[in-house]
Structure 1
Amino acid sequence: EKVDRTRFRDMLADAFEIDDSLLMDRVFRCFDADSDNYVNFEEFIRGMSLFLKGKFEEKAKFCFRVYDLNGDRFISKDEMYQMLKNSLVRAVDEDEDGVKELVEIALKKLDEDHDGRVSDADWSGAVNKETLLLEAFGKCLP
Structure 2
Amino acid sequence: MNRKKLQKLTDTLAKNCKHFNTLEVKCLIHLFYNLVGDVTERQSVVIGLDRNAFRNILHVTFGMTDDMIMDRVFRGFDKDNDGCVNVSEWIYGLSLFLRGTLEEKMKCKERSHRGLDQDHDHDGKLSFSDYERSVREETLLLEAFGPCLPDPKSQMEFESHIFKDPNEFNDI
TM-score tier (shorter): 0.5 to 0.7
Query: What SS is found at the alignment partner of 1:118?
Result: coil
Normalised TM-score (structure 2): 0.55
State the percentage of identical aligned residues.
50
Q: 4+ residue stretches of structure 1 with deviation over 6 A?
A: none
Within 2, Cα distance between the matches of 1:118 and 1:14?
35
Structure 2 counterpart of 1:26, which letter?
R
Within 2, Cα distance between the matches of 1:25 and 1:137?
13
Within 2, Cα distance between the matches of 1:126 and 1:53?
21
More displaced stretch, 55-64 vs 110-119: 110-119
Q: Which has the larger radius of gyration?
A: 2
**1:139 to 1:117, Cα distance in 2 relative to 1, 3 A:** farther
Structure 1 residue 63 displacement after superposition: 1.9
Within 2, Cα distance between the matches of 1:130 and 1:20?
23
Unpaired segments of 5 or more residues in structure 2? 1-46, 151-172
**1:120 to 1:16, Cα distance in 2 relative to 1, 3 A:** same
Q: Aligned pair 1:40/2:86, yes or no?
A: yes
| 1:109-136 deviation digits (Å, cap 9, x = unpaired) | x232345663322211110122122111
Q: Aligned pair 1:124/2:170, yes or no?
A: no
Structure 1 residue 37 displacement after superposition: 1.0
| Aligned counterpart in structure 2 of residue 135 of structure 1, from 133, 143, 151 | 143
Normalised TM-score (structure 1): 0.65
Query: What SS is found at the alignment partner of 1:19?
Result: coil
Structure 1 residue 30 displacement after superposition: 1.1
Within 1, Cα distance between the matches of 2:124 and 2:62?
33
Unpaired segments of 5 or more residues in structure 1? 69-74, 78-105
1 or 2 for the larger relative contact order (CA 8 Å, sep ≥6)?
2
Instruction: Name 2:105's counterpart in structure 1.
Output: 59
Instruction: Name 1:24's counterpart in structure 2.
Output: 70
Structure 2 counterpart of 1:47, which letter?
G
CA RMSD of aligned residues (A): 1.8
